[in-house]
Structure 1
Amino acid sequence: MREHTLDLTADQKWGEGLVAVAEGEQVDLDVRIESVHEGMLVSGTVHTSYTGVCGRCLNDIDMPLKVEFQELFAYPGDETSDFEVQDDHVDLETLVRDAIVLSLPFQPVCQPDCPGLDPATGVRLTDTSGADQREPTDSRWAALQEYTTDHDDTASRP
Protein backbone atom coordinates (compact mmCIF):
# COMPACT_ATOMS: atom_id res chain seq x y z
CA MET A 1 0.00 0.00 0.00
CA ARG A 2 1.23 3.46 -0.89
CA GLU A 3 -0.15 6.90 -0.09
CA HIS A 4 0.63 10.04 -2.07
CA THR A 5 -0.31 13.71 -1.87
CA LEU A 6 -0.11 15.62 -5.13
CA ASP A 7 -0.63 19.31 -5.89
CA LEU A 8 -1.50 19.64 -9.57
CA THR A 9 -3.03 22.17 -11.92
CA ALA A 10 -5.80 21.45 -14.42
CA ASP A 11 -4.20 21.35 -17.87
CA GLN A 12 -7.48 22.26 -19.55
CA LYS A 13 -11.03 23.28 -18.67
CA TRP A 14 -12.90 20.37 -17.05
CA GLY A 15 -16.66 20.48 -17.46
CA GLU A 16 -19.24 22.18 -19.62
CA GLY A 17 -22.43 24.08 -18.89
CA LEU A 18 -22.87 26.75 -16.25
CA VAL A 19 -19.84 25.77 -14.13
CA ALA A 20 -16.47 24.16 -14.77
CA VAL A 21 -13.00 23.76 -13.29
CA ALA A 22 -10.96 26.39 -15.11
CA GLU A 23 -7.70 25.70 -16.88
CA GLY A 24 -4.82 26.30 -14.47
CA GLU A 25 -6.98 25.73 -11.36
CA GLN A 26 -5.24 24.12 -8.36
CA VAL A 27 -6.17 20.43 -7.88
CA ASP A 28 -5.08 18.80 -4.61
CA LEU A 29 -5.07 15.01 -4.69
CA ASP A 30 -4.73 12.59 -1.77
CA VAL A 31 -4.49 9.05 -3.12
CA ARG A 32 -4.05 5.59 -1.65
CA ILE A 33 -2.95 2.69 -3.88
CA GLU A 34 -3.36 -0.87 -2.60
CA SER A 35 -2.23 -4.07 -4.26
CA VAL A 36 -5.05 -6.61 -4.51
CA HIS A 37 -5.34 -9.94 -6.31
CA GLU A 38 -7.10 -8.49 -9.40
CA GLY A 39 -4.90 -5.40 -9.75
CA MET A 40 -4.43 -2.12 -7.89
CA LEU A 41 -7.22 -0.52 -5.90
CA VAL A 42 -6.99 3.27 -6.05
CA SER A 43 -9.00 5.42 -3.67
CA GLY A 44 -8.65 9.06 -2.86
CA THR A 45 -9.98 12.56 -2.43
CA VAL A 46 -9.72 15.55 -4.75
CA HIS A 47 -9.99 19.15 -3.54
CA THR A 48 -10.43 21.95 -6.08
CA SER A 49 -12.88 24.73 -6.91
CA TYR A 50 -15.20 25.48 -9.79
CA THR A 51 -16.32 28.77 -11.32
CA GLY A 52 -19.27 29.81 -13.42
CA VAL A 53 -22.65 31.48 -13.06
CA CYS A 54 -25.65 30.87 -10.83
CA GLY A 55 -28.46 29.05 -12.61
CA ARG A 56 -31.10 31.36 -11.06
CA CYS A 57 -29.69 34.90 -10.91
CA LEU A 58 -26.66 34.65 -13.23
CA ASN A 59 -24.23 35.96 -10.56
CA ASP A 60 -20.64 34.76 -10.84
CA ILE A 61 -19.84 31.96 -8.42
CA ASP A 62 -16.61 30.38 -7.20
CA MET A 63 -17.21 27.35 -4.98
CA PRO A 64 -14.95 24.71 -3.44
CA LEU A 65 -15.36 21.10 -4.53
CA LYS A 66 -14.44 17.90 -2.70
CA VAL A 67 -14.74 14.57 -4.53
CA GLU A 68 -14.03 11.07 -3.27
CA PHE A 69 -13.31 8.25 -5.71
CA GLN A 70 -12.36 4.58 -5.78
CA GLU A 71 -11.47 2.42 -8.78
CA LEU A 72 -9.83 -0.91 -9.50
CA PHE A 73 -7.04 -0.85 -12.07
CA ALA A 74 -6.94 -4.43 -13.36
CA TYR A 75 -3.83 -6.25 -14.46
CA PRO A 76 -3.73 -6.76 -18.25
CA GLY A 77 -5.29 -10.05 -19.23
CA ASP A 78 -8.04 -11.73 -21.19
CA GLU A 79 -10.86 -9.61 -19.73
CA THR A 80 -11.33 -6.02 -20.81
CA SER A 81 -11.38 -3.34 -18.17
CA ASP A 82 -11.95 0.41 -18.21
CA PHE A 83 -8.75 0.99 -16.26
CA GLU A 84 -5.64 -1.18 -16.49
CA VAL A 85 -2.22 -1.25 -14.89
CA GLN A 86 0.41 -0.29 -17.48
CA ASP A 87 4.04 -1.22 -16.69
CA ASP A 88 3.34 -1.24 -12.93
CA HIS A 89 1.86 2.28 -13.14
CA VAL A 90 -1.66 3.68 -13.10
CA ASP A 91 -2.81 6.75 -15.02
CA LEU A 92 -5.07 8.77 -12.72
CA GLU A 93 -5.85 11.66 -15.09
CA THR A 94 -8.99 10.17 -16.64
CA LEU A 95 -10.25 8.88 -13.30
CA VAL A 96 -9.77 12.22 -11.52
CA ARG A 97 -11.18 14.28 -14.40
CA ASP A 98 -14.28 12.09 -14.68
CA ALA A 99 -14.88 12.17 -10.93
CA ILE A 100 -14.67 15.97 -10.89
CA VAL A 101 -16.86 16.54 -13.95
CA LEU A 102 -19.55 14.13 -12.75
CA SER A 103 -19.72 15.84 -9.36
CA LEU A 104 -20.23 19.36 -10.76
CA PRO A 105 -23.77 20.62 -10.08
CA PHE A 106 -26.14 20.60 -13.03
CA GLN A 107 -28.06 23.66 -11.76
CA PRO A 108 -25.56 25.58 -9.60
CA VAL A 109 -26.78 28.32 -7.26
CA CYS A 110 -24.87 31.13 -5.57
CA GLN A 111 -26.70 30.48 -2.29
CA PRO A 112 -29.24 27.78 -1.36
CA ASP A 113 -32.17 30.22 -1.16
CA CYS A 114 -31.29 32.32 -4.23
CA PRO A 115 -34.56 33.93 -5.40
CA GLY A 116 -33.38 34.37 -9.00
CA LEU A 117 -34.57 37.03 -11.41
CA ASP A 118 -37.82 38.99 -11.51
CA PRO A 119 -39.76 37.51 -14.45
CA ALA A 120 -41.22 40.89 -15.42
CA THR A 121 -38.19 43.17 -15.19
CA GLY A 122 -35.22 40.78 -15.25
CA VAL A 123 -33.71 42.45 -12.18
CA ARG A 124 -32.00 40.24 -9.62
CA LEU A 125 -34.38 39.78 -6.70
CA THR A 126 -31.46 39.84 -4.26
CA ASP A 127 -30.71 43.42 -5.41
CA THR A 128 -34.24 44.70 -4.72
CA SER A 129 -36.14 44.92 -1.47
CA GLY A 130 -39.13 43.06 -2.85
CA ALA A 131 -41.58 45.78 -1.68
CA ASP A 132 -42.40 46.84 -5.21
CA GLN A 133 -43.08 43.28 -6.35
CA ARG A 134 -46.72 42.61 -7.22
CA GLU A 135 -48.32 39.53 -8.60
CA PRO A 136 -49.82 40.15 -12.03
CA THR A 137 -53.60 40.09 -12.00
CA ASP A 138 -55.19 37.52 -14.25
CA SER A 139 -58.17 39.13 -15.96
CA ARG A 140 -60.15 35.89 -15.70
CA TRP A 141 -60.27 36.35 -11.90
CA ALA A 142 -61.16 40.09 -11.92
CA ALA A 143 -64.80 39.51 -10.92
CA LEU A 144 -63.67 37.75 -7.73
CA GLN A 145 -61.63 40.75 -6.54
CA GLU A 146 -64.83 42.46 -5.41
CA TYR A 147 -66.01 39.44 -3.44
CA THR A 148 -65.56 39.54 0.33
CA THR A 149 -67.03 37.48 3.15
CA ASP A 150 -68.71 40.64 4.58
CA HIS A 151 -71.44 40.37 1.93
CA ASP A 152 -72.88 37.12 3.23
CA ASP A 153 -76.63 37.11 2.96
CA THR A 154 -77.48 36.63 6.66
CA ALA A 155 -80.82 38.51 6.47
CA SER A 156 -82.41 35.90 4.21
CA ARG A 157 -81.90 33.06 6.67
CA PRO A 158 -85.07 31.80 8.43
Structure 2
Amino acid sequence: MREFTLDLPAPAKWGEGLVSVPEGEPLEIDARLESVHEGILVSVTAATRYVGVCGRCLTDIEQPVEVEFQELFAYPGKEAEDFEVRDDHVDLEIPVRDAIVLSLPFQPVCQPDCPGLDPATGERLTGSPEERLQESVDPRWAALRQYTTDSDA
Protein backbone atom coordinates (compact mmCIF):
# COMPACT_ATOMS: atom_id res chain seq x y z
CA MET A 1 0.00 0.00 0.00
CA ARG A 2 1.18 3.51 -0.79
CA GLU A 3 -0.37 6.88 -0.06
CA PHE A 4 0.15 10.07 -2.03
CA THR A 5 -0.92 13.69 -1.61
CA LEU A 6 -0.84 15.75 -4.78
CA ASP A 7 -1.50 19.44 -5.40
CA LEU A 8 -1.95 19.95 -9.14
CA PRO A 9 -3.65 22.47 -11.44
CA ALA A 10 -6.69 21.30 -13.40
CA PRO A 11 -5.35 20.40 -16.86
CA ALA A 12 -8.43 21.72 -18.68
CA LYS A 13 -11.86 23.21 -18.03
CA TRP A 14 -14.03 20.49 -16.51
CA GLY A 15 -17.79 20.83 -16.96
CA GLU A 16 -20.03 22.48 -19.52
CA GLY A 17 -23.15 23.61 -17.65
CA LEU A 18 -23.76 26.72 -15.57
CA VAL A 19 -20.75 25.85 -13.40
CA SER A 20 -17.38 24.32 -14.17
CA VAL A 21 -13.88 23.85 -12.79
CA PRO A 22 -11.68 26.33 -14.69
CA GLU A 23 -8.39 25.33 -16.25
CA GLY A 24 -5.52 25.81 -13.82
CA GLU A 25 -7.75 25.60 -10.71
CA PRO A 26 -5.82 23.89 -7.87
CA LEU A 27 -6.74 20.24 -7.23
CA GLU A 28 -5.92 18.57 -3.94
CA ILE A 29 -5.74 14.81 -4.39
CA ASP A 30 -5.23 12.26 -1.61
CA ALA A 31 -4.73 8.81 -3.14
CA ARG A 32 -4.22 5.42 -1.57
CA LEU A 33 -3.01 2.61 -3.82
CA GLU A 34 -3.36 -0.99 -2.70
CA SER A 35 -2.10 -4.08 -4.47
CA VAL A 36 -4.85 -6.66 -4.97
CA HIS A 37 -4.94 -9.89 -6.98
CA GLU A 38 -6.68 -8.32 -10.00
CA GLY A 39 -4.61 -5.13 -10.12
CA ILE A 40 -4.31 -1.91 -8.11
CA LEU A 41 -7.21 -0.61 -6.05
CA VAL A 42 -7.11 3.19 -5.90
CA SER A 43 -9.04 5.15 -3.25
CA VAL A 44 -9.13 8.89 -3.95
CA THR A 45 -10.37 12.02 -2.25
CA ALA A 46 -10.21 15.04 -4.58
CA ALA A 47 -11.05 18.63 -3.67
CA THR A 48 -11.26 21.79 -5.76
CA ARG A 49 -13.78 24.58 -6.40
CA TYR A 50 -16.20 25.33 -9.19
CA VAL A 51 -17.22 28.72 -10.56
CA GLY A 52 -20.20 29.82 -12.60
CA VAL A 53 -23.56 31.52 -12.26
CA CYS A 54 -26.64 30.91 -10.13
CA GLY A 55 -29.37 29.12 -12.06
CA ARG A 56 -32.08 31.40 -10.60
CA CYS A 57 -30.63 34.92 -10.40
CA LEU A 58 -27.53 34.65 -12.63
CA THR A 59 -25.12 36.05 -10.03
CA ASP A 60 -21.56 34.74 -9.97
CA ILE A 61 -20.91 31.88 -7.57
CA GLU A 62 -17.95 29.80 -6.51
CA GLN A 63 -18.20 26.82 -4.23
CA PRO A 64 -15.88 24.06 -3.06
CA VAL A 65 -16.42 20.54 -4.34
CA GLU A 66 -15.04 17.34 -2.83
CA VAL A 67 -15.43 13.80 -4.15
CA GLU A 68 -14.41 10.35 -2.98
CA PHE A 69 -14.23 7.25 -5.14
CA GLN A 70 -12.56 3.88 -5.56
CA GLU A 71 -11.44 2.42 -8.85
CA LEU A 72 -9.76 -0.85 -9.75
CA PHE A 73 -6.95 -0.56 -12.28
CA ALA A 74 -6.63 -4.08 -13.66
CA TYR A 75 -3.43 -5.69 -14.86
CA PRO A 76 -3.38 -6.00 -18.67
CA GLY A 77 -4.92 -9.27 -19.75
CA LYS A 78 -7.18 -10.90 -22.28
CA GLU A 79 -10.29 -8.95 -21.33
CA ALA A 80 -10.70 -5.27 -22.08
CA GLU A 81 -10.97 -3.19 -18.89
CA ASP A 82 -11.98 0.43 -18.38
CA PHE A 83 -8.79 1.25 -16.50
CA GLU A 84 -5.55 -0.69 -16.71
CA VAL A 85 -2.13 -0.55 -15.10
CA ARG A 86 0.35 0.62 -17.74
CA ASP A 87 4.09 0.27 -17.14
CA ASP A 88 3.47 -0.04 -13.38
CA HIS A 89 1.59 3.31 -13.38
CA VAL A 90 -2.05 4.35 -13.10
CA ASP A 91 -3.50 7.44 -14.79
CA LEU A 92 -5.94 9.15 -12.41
CA GLU A 93 -6.91 12.08 -14.65
CA ILE A 94 -9.98 10.47 -16.25
CA PRO A 95 -11.55 9.01 -13.07
CA VAL A 96 -10.87 12.22 -11.09
CA ARG A 97 -12.37 14.35 -13.87
CA ASP A 98 -15.41 12.08 -14.19
CA ALA A 99 -16.06 12.08 -10.44
CA ILE A 100 -15.77 15.87 -10.15
CA VAL A 101 -17.86 16.66 -13.23
CA LEU A 102 -20.61 14.26 -12.14
CA SER A 103 -20.74 15.92 -8.72
CA LEU A 104 -21.24 19.44 -10.12
CA PRO A 105 -24.79 20.69 -9.53
CA PHE A 106 -27.09 20.69 -12.55
CA GLN A 107 -29.02 23.74 -11.31
CA PRO A 108 -26.61 25.60 -9.01
CA VAL A 109 -27.94 28.30 -6.69
CA CYS A 110 -26.15 31.06 -4.82
CA GLN A 111 -28.15 30.28 -1.67
CA PRO A 112 -30.79 27.61 -0.97
CA ASP A 113 -33.67 30.09 -0.86
CA CYS A 114 -32.57 32.27 -3.80
CA PRO A 115 -35.70 34.10 -5.00
CA GLY A 116 -34.47 34.44 -8.58
CA LEU A 117 -35.41 37.22 -10.99
CA ASP A 118 -38.61 39.23 -11.30
CA PRO A 119 -40.29 37.98 -14.50
CA ALA A 120 -41.63 41.43 -15.36
CA THR A 121 -38.57 43.62 -14.77
CA GLY A 122 -35.71 41.13 -14.83
CA GLU A 123 -34.35 42.57 -11.58
CA ARG A 124 -33.06 40.28 -8.86
CA LEU A 125 -35.68 39.64 -6.19
CA THR A 126 -34.06 40.31 -2.83
CA GLY A 127 -35.15 41.22 0.65
CA SER A 128 -38.23 40.19 2.57
CA PRO A 129 -41.42 38.92 0.92
CA GLU A 130 -43.19 42.20 1.78
CA GLU A 131 -40.76 44.10 -0.42
CA ARG A 132 -41.46 41.90 -3.42
CA LEU A 133 -43.82 43.20 -6.05
CA GLN A 134 -47.37 41.91 -6.17
CA GLU A 135 -47.96 39.31 -8.82
CA SER A 136 -49.61 40.65 -11.92
CA VAL A 137 -52.90 38.93 -12.64
CA ASP A 138 -53.66 37.62 -16.08
CA PRO A 139 -56.55 39.76 -17.40
CA ARG A 140 -58.44 36.60 -18.39
CA TRP A 141 -58.61 35.64 -14.70
CA ALA A 142 -59.23 39.15 -13.26
CA ALA A 143 -62.99 38.59 -13.04
CA LEU A 144 -62.44 35.72 -10.60
CA ARG A 145 -60.96 38.10 -8.00
CA GLN A 146 -64.52 39.23 -7.23
CA TYR A 147 -65.56 35.70 -6.38
CA THR A 148 -64.95 34.58 -2.81
CA THR A 149 -65.84 31.33 -1.09
CA ASP A 150 -67.07 33.26 1.97
CA SER A 151 -70.21 34.56 0.24
CA ASP A 152 -73.69 33.61 1.53
CA ALA A 153 -74.90 32.46 -1.87
Normalised to the residue count of structure 2, the TM-score between the two structures is: 0.92
Change (3 A) 1:115 1:132: closer
Q: Name the counterpart of 2:92.
A: 92
Q: Deviations over 1:11-37 (max 9, x none)?
A: 211111111101110100000000001
Tell me the CA shift for residue 140 of structure 1.
3.1
Q: How does 1:19-58 map to 2 (within 5 A)?
A: 19-58=19-58
Instruction: Count how many residue pairs are aligned between Structure 1 and Structure 2.
Output: 153
Which structure would you say has the larger Rg? Answer: 1
1:10-66 superposed Cα distances (whole Å, 9 cap, x missing partner): 121111111110111010000000000100000110010000000110000010000
Q: Secondary structure at the match of 1:108?
A: coil
Tell me which amino acid in the other structure corresponds to 1:141.
W
58-67 vs 96-105, greater mean Cα deviation:
96-105
User: Which stretches in structure 1 are left out of the alignment for 5+ residues?
Assistant: 154-158
Query: 2:141 is matched by which residue type in structure 1?
Result: W
Partner of 1:142: 142
Residue 132 of structure 1 and its aligned partner are, at CA, apart by 4.9
Distance 1:123 1:130 in 2: 16
Give the whole-Å Cα distance in 1 for the aligned partners of 2:63 and 2:127. Answer: 21
Report the counterpart of residue 126 of structure 2 in structure 1. Answer: 126
Amino acid at match of 2:111: Q
User: Which runs of 5 or more residues in structure 2 are unaligned?
Assistant: none
**Runs of 4+, deviation exceeding 6 Å:** none
TM-superposed deviation, 1:144:
3.0
Q: Secondary structure of the residue that 2:140 maps to in structure 1?
A: helix
Tell me, in whole angstroms, the C-alpha distance in 1 between the residues paired with 2:149 and 2:54: 44
1:51-130 matched pairs, under 5 angstroms:
51-126=51-126
What is the TM-score when the length of structure 1 is the normalising length?
Answer: 0.89
**Secondary structure of the equivalent of 1:6?**
strand
- CA 33–122 in structure 1, closer or farther in 2 if over 3 Å, else same: same
What is the aligned-residue identity percentage?
71
Matched, 1:12 2:12: yes
